Homo-oligomer: A and B are copies of this chain.
Amino acid sequence: MFTPADSAHMARALQLAARGRYTAHPNPMVGCVLVNGGDIVGEGFHERAGGPHAEIVALEAARDRSKGATAYVSLEPCAHHGRTPPCTTALIDAGVGKVVAAMRDPFDEVAGRGLEVLEDAGVETAVGLMQGAAERLNAGFVSRVTRGRPFVRLKIAASIDGATAMAGGESRWITSPEARRDVHTLRAGSGAILTGIGTVLADDPSLTVRDVETQGLQPLRVVLDSRLRMPAAAAMLGLPGDTLVCCTSGQESSALREAGAEVQAFGAHGDVVNVFEVLAALGEREINDVLVEAGPRLAGYLLDKDLIDELVIYQSPHIMGSNTRGMFATPAWEALADRRPLEFTDVRRVGPDTRITATLTG
């Protein structure tokens, strides 16, 4: 059905799409390649919400060579008026002969609608080429529109023997400068960073993106803080970007609000903030990806509630020994059969450290 040339062009479209990694959200990353007579005549990607879609950028680059061209797009073209006119209209008007999409629009209500509009106008369509890669690229966007909550990625920095802090709490720094720089790319690709009040009180982290070009965008910092112990003097409140403090109802918050924080009350889950509600609220705020940077208590809690989609574990070449804290404070599983299975999706070296990416599989 698809030729090697089709795959090469779609791979290029996906590569282009990824250029919007730090800036396109809350929109999906989309790339488009226009091919005419075997030659690439136009390329584009969606850089920023409110800016032109990938298809429009590619059509503008191709000008009259888009007539009879094939468009390779990493996501089904939109058929609705959003902040910009529909891409289907632009593709039809430009005389594009065929559209190959990696995946349908994940919105159930409109999935296939863009392809239908194109077909009705006599444009040939095909869908599903490199669909897995396209879905992984926009896992956050897909999660938000299909599950109503962001994709949750937990970042862990540990020693090779699995320690994330000394018993006394010392954890700065376990991993290398190279690994910490890599974390900033994870932050830059996330709409929000989630942490617990324990981490704020212990480390007073900034949780900002540094040394990555995001056109000034900063992820929303979200602090789970049931009893509203967040200090008005917390470092992050004086830094670029917004901070949302999530407490349970009945907490006094005027000092924090004056310090610039947004404070929102949620239901309680035992003695902690109901994280399901928090994630739903982040979904409503159009947050696609949440990066969790927290201690073993929150990590274990999220694991227990099946709320972790992906783990990114940096392992430093050190043995920290037995007087340390682990990655996850979990319920006391008795048997090996109780352990939680993962799949390693990527294993690589980052400076002197390793970085292992894993998805939860069961």
Could you list which residues of chain A lie within 8 angstroms of chain B, going by C-beta atoms? 158-163, 166-168, 170-172, 174, 296, 300, 303, 311, 313, 315, 317-323, 326-336, 338-344, 347-349, 352-354, 356, 358, 361
Q: A162-B163, A334-B168, A356-B160 are known contacts. Are A341 and B318 too (CB-CB below 8 A)? A: yes
**Do A160 and B342 touch across chains, with their CB atoms under 8 A apart?**
yes
In this complex, what residue of B is CB-closest to A313? B160
Contact B341 A349 (CB under 8 A): no
**Chain B's nearest CB lies how many Å from the CB of A353?**
8
Are B334's CB and A344's CB within 8 A? no
Residues of B within 8 A of A170 (CB): 335-336
**Is there an interface contact between B318 and A339, defined as CB atoms closer than 8 Å?**
yes
Docked-complex contact A352 and B343, CB < 8 angstroms: yes
A321 to B347, CA, bound (A): 21
Docked Cα-Cα span, A303 to B341, in Å, equals: 30
Q: A165: nearest residue on chain B (CB-CB)? A: B336
Contacts of A317 in B (CB 8 A): 341-344, 358, 361
- The answer to whether A160 and B321 touch across the interface, beta carbons within 8 angstroms, is no
For this chain, the copies found in one complex come to 2
In the bound complex, CA of A281 to CA of B221 (Å): 60
Which residues does chain B contribute within 8 Å of A331, judged by CB atoms?
321, 323
From B328, B343, B352, give the contact of A319 (CB < 8 A).
Answer: B328
A349 vs B349: C-alpha distance in the bound complex, in angstroms? 12
Cα A326 to Cα B163 in complex, Å, equals 9
Q: Is the CB of B319 within 8 A of A330?
A: yes
Nearest neighbor of A315 in chain B, beta-carbon distance? B356
CB of B333 within 8 A of CB of A320, answer yes
Q: A172: nearest residue on chain B (CB-CB)?
A: B336
A167-B332, A318-B341, A323-B334 given; name 10 further pairs at CB < 8 Å: A160-B162, A160-B313, A162-B327, A166-B334, A166-B336, A170-B335, A296-B322, A318-B340, A321-B331, A323-B333
Complex interface: chain B residues within 8 A of A326 (CB): 161-162, 322, 326
Q: Is B339 within 8 A of A320, CB to CB?
A: yes
Name 16 interchain pairs, CB-CB below 8 A, sorted by A. Answer: A158-B161, A160-B342, A160-B356, A166-B333, A167-B334, A172-B336, A317-B342, A317-B358, A317-B361, A321-B331, A321-B340, A322-B329, A322-B332, A323-B333, A323-B334, A344-B352
Across the interface, name the chain B residue whose C-beta is closest to A174: B336
**Are B352 and A349 closer than 8 Å at their CB atoms?**
no
